[in-house]
Structure 1
Amino acid sequence: MRLVKAFLLCLSMQALTLSAQMFIFPTSYGPPDKYQVVDTAKYEITYQIAAKLNPNPKYSHVAYKDTQTLLIGKRISATYSRDILQAREKADAEIKQGAETTDDFSGITFPEDVFKGYPKPGVLTTSYRLFLGAGYGQYTEALPDFKWQIQSETKKILSYTCQKALGEFRGRKYIAWFTSDIPLSDGPWKFCGLPGLILAVQDTEAYFVFTCIGVDNKSTPIRFWTYPHTKSTREKLRATILRMHKQPILFCEQSLGINIYIGNTNKNRDFSFPWLWLEAE
């Protein structure tokens, strides 16, 4: 309830705008202490993601950055937003100290956590953060096939020699750089399937750019979040997300069970919030 109050305070005070007609909504929080340890990582890889926020050319200058952590264990790997985890921990600590509201939600972060090899080999589980009050959607599917074609071109990323690969998946074409120096067939988000760790990958339109900024060899527990999720299929969850972005105010009202007003008037409630998908189809 305190997080809901904070959400309403943000709406009333700031209208959550990037520009006069561009509204941003905070995403759901899950308590950072609600988890089960499913594996132990041997590698912790850090990526910077730079992504366009909106496909409308009017907002082509608007982008966001997020720091992603990839933990690679013996059976399972997990990719999640380090920024949202830090925001969760900060909000949780403030609330435990008696705060009625928190100063910061997540800003804009990449909304998907991906667990490869969970709950069993050959599949992955995606947890999607919906707008605040709507919680989380979750689905499981087979590990993807990016149809990689390895090229002869090489370059250095950090201190690693990387080789180029071209791939495609669900409506986007990708350029990836992987290193055989770290022979792990993994990468950020759902990216996998190359004979080495992917240190950089982007779509050919540069809407989404992942760049490795750190490689650490250390033991870290891989946590699978156990707070409530709505289990679904990718197709059903996608339909929910489309509805969420088409009518965000109505979606949040239905999720929270209350009426929401933007500023001192209600004239700005009928708008959509277009969103660029990493999966174009």
Structure 2
Amino acid sequence: MTAAADLYPSLKDRVVVVTGGGRGLGLEMALALVEAGARVTVTSAREAGELADVEARAGALAGPGRLIAAQADVRDYDDSLRVLERTLDAFGAVHCLVNNAGRGMKLVHPNYVEERPKFWEAPLDGWREIVDTNINGVFNMARAFTPGFIGQGFGKIVNVSTSDVTIVRVGYSPYGPSKAMLEAMSRVWAQDLEGTGVTVNVFLPGGATDTAILPEMAQKRGADGGLLRPEIMRAPILWLCSDRSNGHTAERYIARLWDDSLPPDEAAAGARDRHHEKPGIL
């Protein structure tokens, strides 16, 4: 057994679906889950070659059949249903959904970090693809999976977001605002699901991360300079998908604040956003 499997015995044979799992954050989360004993379905809308590579890497870590890959576009509700069906056919159950698939600002401007495009300059097709993926795609997957979670009295939905500053950063529309809506949806869904055994939490790196969502420049960098590594998502996603997170819902976790030197529950408490309170009505 790996150290992660020892820390999270409830992940043994737990079935997790990770959208956008062909690269970047999704890839790291998927491989970490497989290594900890989970069975995983990953999706990607575009690159079949990436999916084959993920299957091979997972097979090398945990043996064949522990991870399956599905080419699917979360913007298409029928694709979401097909991912559910394929997962159930392969593993017989599903317990966790990680909504990681997303589209970024390169669809608006190839060098958006330096140029900071204005909203009225955004190409209509690029704007719509970002909004449709980052909002409707998350809804499609959650709508497809949630009835089964409710029926079994257990399920975990983890929605991957971005930092507060990016949500309102100049030149980052519609990407930032789309994540604001994702976070609002997550809070509402957690309340909708109260008492069902299904939880909804938000998870984010906590800063610009070295993934394909950033523009290709001579020196790749985020809007604030330095970059986080995608591997930062590994330890927290294990906690979020394990029984250790049972009862935690409507919360927001920041991977950058996770301290690997602490026991998992203490690390999770340290990574929880302390300013994430339920809005009041004025």
TM-score, length-scaled by structure 2: 0.27
Select the structure that is richer in helix.
2
- After TM superposition, the score normalised by the length of structure 1 is 0.27
Structure showing greater Rg: 1
The answer to which structure, 1 or 2, has the higher relative contact order (CA under 8 A, 6+ apart) is 1
